[in-house]
Amino acid sequence: MYAPERQQEILRLARDRGRVDVPSLAEEFDVTPETVRRDLKALDRAGLIRRVHGGAIPTGRLDFEPDLTEREATAADEKDRIAKTALAELPSDGSVVIDAGTTTARFVAALPLDSRLTVVTHALPIAARLAEYPDLTLHLVGGRLRHRTRAAVGEWALSAYGDINADVTFIAANGFSLADNGKGGLTTPDLAEAAVKRAMIRAARRVVLLADSSKFGQAHFARFGELADVDMLITDQGLSPEDARAIERAGTEVVRA
């Protein structure tokens, strides 16, 4: 099978299955994983698929959401730098809201054990980590648990965040971009999670977005705000200086860790 024929078949499989992975394709076509990665790169350049960790999804799957294990392995070094940089935005003996996500989880892991803060979160992994902090006051927001993100959503969560007035919200996003005719902005695949994120933005006087640069320009199914809703974006050096300046002109401070 010639490369164009194989790539056409890979595209068909991606559209039929919703996702393809490198090991399975290599076995199916009896080629090396490196050959499959070249095929996926060619299809990605053509705008026919979008490469994700370990494989690819067809373009147009705006509701696609990788699980926590996959996301934890993506851009790990960048997320660590973002997390450590974000520590400087913590209020002294103040109150913070922390979103679900792998970057926010790394941020929590970097918190000094003697932190004296009031923390509100709807994310079980983050609450479990912070439960070990002796001087920290932890409030766990309840609701229906989304197993993919281990986060509470629904009316209970929205009601709880509606009663909060914190110093800082540290929020995550699957995609962020400058809004264009009402499109783009801050997005995530799930409508219920988007509603909780909107409530979190309203629950604090200052909003800090923690997002690695690979998420810039991505748009997902559910929109929960605009970059203008964010006071500071902490990202990595992968975001170009030109894009950083464009974001700052729109009113959001940018820190490239």
Q: What would the pLDDT profile of 35-57 be if each residue is shown by its tens digit?
A: 999 999 888 877 778 887 788 88
Give the position of tokens 């909107």.
198
Instruction: Inform me whether the pLDDT recorded for 10 exceeds 80.
Output: yes
Q: Which SS3 state, helix, strand or coil, does residue 18 take?
A: coil
The pLDDT of residue 54 is 82
Residues spanned by CATH 1.10.10.10 within the chain?
Answer: 3-61
Residue 255 pLDDT > 80, yes or no? yes
Give residue 169's pLDDT: 98
From-to residues of CATH 3.40.50.1360 in the chain:
70-256
Query: What tokens does 142 get?
Result: 């309840």
Helices (H) and strands (E) in the chain, counts: 10, 15
Rounded to 5 degrees, φ, ψ at 138 are -110, 130
What angle do helix axes 33-45 and 22-29 make, rounded to 10 degrees?
Answer: 110
If phi > 0 it is left, if psi is from -120 to 50 it is alpha, else beta; for residue 74 that is beta
Q: Are the CB atoms for 19 and 57 separated by under 8 Å?
A: yes
More confident residue, 15 or 107: 107
Predicted confidence (pLDDT) at residue 168 exceeds the cutoff of 90:
yes
Residue 204, beta-bridge partner list:
166
Structure token digits, residue 90: 């913590």
pLDDT band at 194; cut points 50, 70, 90: very high
DSSP state of 183: B
Average pLDDT on 135-160 reads 95
What span, in angstroms and rounded, lies between the C-alpha atoms of 231 and 205?
Answer: 9
* Cβ 184 vs Cβ 247: under 8 Å: no
pLDDT at residue 68, rounded to an integer: 60
Burial string for 171-201 (b: 16+ CB within 10 Å, else e) reads bbbbbbbbeeeeebbbbbbbebbbbbbbbbb
Q: pLDDT tens for residues 110-133? A: 999 999 999 999 999 999 999 999
pLDDT for 136 beyond 70: yes
Q: What is the fold of 70-256?
A: Rossmann fold (3.40.50)
- Residue position matching structure tokens 């929960």: 224
Predicted TM-score (pTM) of the model is 0.76
Fold of 3-61: Arc Repressor Mutant, subunit A (1.10.10)
Q: Give the per-residue pLDDT at 189.
A: 87
Average pLDDT over the chain reads: 90
Indicate the SS3 state at residue 254.
strand
Q: What are the structure tokens assigned to 169, written together?
A: 């919200």
What does the pLDDT look like over 59-91, one tens digit per residue? Answer: 765 555 666 665 565 678 999 999 999 999 999
